[in-house]
Amino acid sequence: MWESTPVGAIDPEDFYDFQVTRPVMEVSDGHTDRLVWPTTRLTLARPQGVDRDLILLHGIEPNMRWRAFSDQLVAAFTELGADLVILLGALLADSPHTRPVPVNAAVSDTGLSARLHVDPVDYKGPTGIVGVLQHACQAAGIPAVSLWAAVPHYVAQPPSPKATLALLRRVEDILDVTLPLAGLPDDARAWERGVDELADQDTEVADYVRTLEEARDATDLPEASGDAIAREFERYLRRRGDHGG
């Protein structure tokens, strides 16, 4: 795992409805150990073998004042000297759980799309804090890309480790780094097996999954499959090099 150092946190008072997103109380032997407020935190990681520092952002979508929330984060990105912001999200889609999770990208400009080798998508509709924050980064002149994993709508309950793994694989491709995935690949396989078992117990769901599989296989282009194989081989070589093989 990477070692990281806390560098900042958002004051939650102005952005969270604590009746909706409640603080967490930790009690041991009848004594209160600590009270953890819902917020968004930034840490700085300096991975070995990586020629850049990485700012890690982890938090909860705010309940209110999204523009002020985004402005605070953009100010932090600027102060820390961020030269690229990568945002991760997920959306529900008609995607079979048995196939690789599609990951689409939205970029702040066409030049960035070419530099990162991502295929941008067209979209017009509601968005979450990821979309708002990306727009704020773009307005501040900070290059930003948001990656969206297509989660099967019939297993929408989080977490979805297979979708998380797909997002992190794309981050690896963009940054040309090897991320510490720990047991996530095993979790993704276990998740898929669990959904297989649920589908086997319901013939309607099983039939629906087969329909999605046929549609997906019919639309996947050979060159797309070739690109996926090439990216996976590049990841293999990168991980092999990181482990001294």
pLDDT tens-digit profile of 120-135? 677 788 889 999 999 9
Domains of the chain in start order, with CATH, are 4-242 (3.40.50.10900)
Tens-place pLDDT, residues 75-110: 999 999 999 999 999 989 888 999 999 888 888 877
pLDDT score at 84? 94
Which positions of the chain have pLDDT values less than 70? 1, 49, 119-120, 220-245
Strands (E), the chain: 4-9, 24-28, 31-36, 41-45, 54-58, 85-93, 103-107, 144-152
User: Does residue 196 contact residue 98 with C-beta atoms inside 8 Å?
Assistant: yes
CA distance 163 to 71: 29
pTM: 0.81
